[in-house]
Amino acid sequence: MKIGRFLALAALVAAPASAAPRTETAVLAGGCFWGMESVFEHVKGVKDVVSGYAGGDGKDASYDAVSSESTAHAEAVKITYDPSQVSYAQLLQIYFTVAHDPTQVNRQGPDVGSSYRSAIFPQSGEQAAFAKAFIARLNASHIYKAPIATRIESGGFFPAEAYHQDFARKHPFYPYIVVNDRPKVTALQKKFPAYYKA
């Protein structure tokens, strides 16, 4: 038996039979969480997307409180993904390119207020460093006519009420979804066909 085949066989035998795929999480805010959730649900390698509130306290993490703009929360999504299929860098590329407009300050489209701000909530020091460098590269490239408004913040994530989860999928003809969010999914399919899943 050749040494290469022997080493390959030894590695196979040594591997745990029921090793689960590794997953990581990313928390991103970019306007109404319905659209953000809708975009990232269509990304290959993404296992789950939860709409919620990030950057504030758990005691007032509710739609009514956050919508009053009296809390520190941003509408956000928590993305669970398989890094062997899609990287954090690729998620940020989609985030900055099709999921929202990173140059808008405290708003996205028709939604105005700090809860609709553009913000990244890193889940590790590595993510924080990467996001900071990513934003610096975007600003230096002058791809956008205005500076990147995206902030890097800390804070917990709190899932939104059940009726917000999978809203675009459950209500595909809701006028807000048709006008504001469906075009983002179409843009994902056109600009990143290799990452798109139906």
Confidence class for position 8, pLDDT limits 50, 70, 90:
very low
Tell me if 99 sits within 8 A of 30, measured CB to CB. yes
Q: Could you confirm whether 32 is annotated as catalytic?
A: yes
In this prediction, residue 190 carries a pLDDT of: 97
pLDDT at 191: 96
What's residue 20's pLDDT?
Answer: 55
pLDDT band at 28 (very low <50, low <70, confident <90, very high): very high
Who has greater pLDDT, 134 or 12? Answer: 134
Which structural domains are found in the chain, ordered by start?
Answer: 18-191 (3.30.1060.10)
- The residue from 28, 32, 76, 86 that is catalytic is 32
User: How much is the pTM?
Assistant: 0.87
- What gap in Å lies between CA 78 and CA 157, rounded to an integer? 8
> What is the spatial distance between Cα 59 and Cα 41, in angstroms, rounded to a whole number?
28
Interval 68-103: pLDDT, tens: 999 999 999 999 999 999 999 999 999 999 999 999
| Residue 51 pLDDT | 98
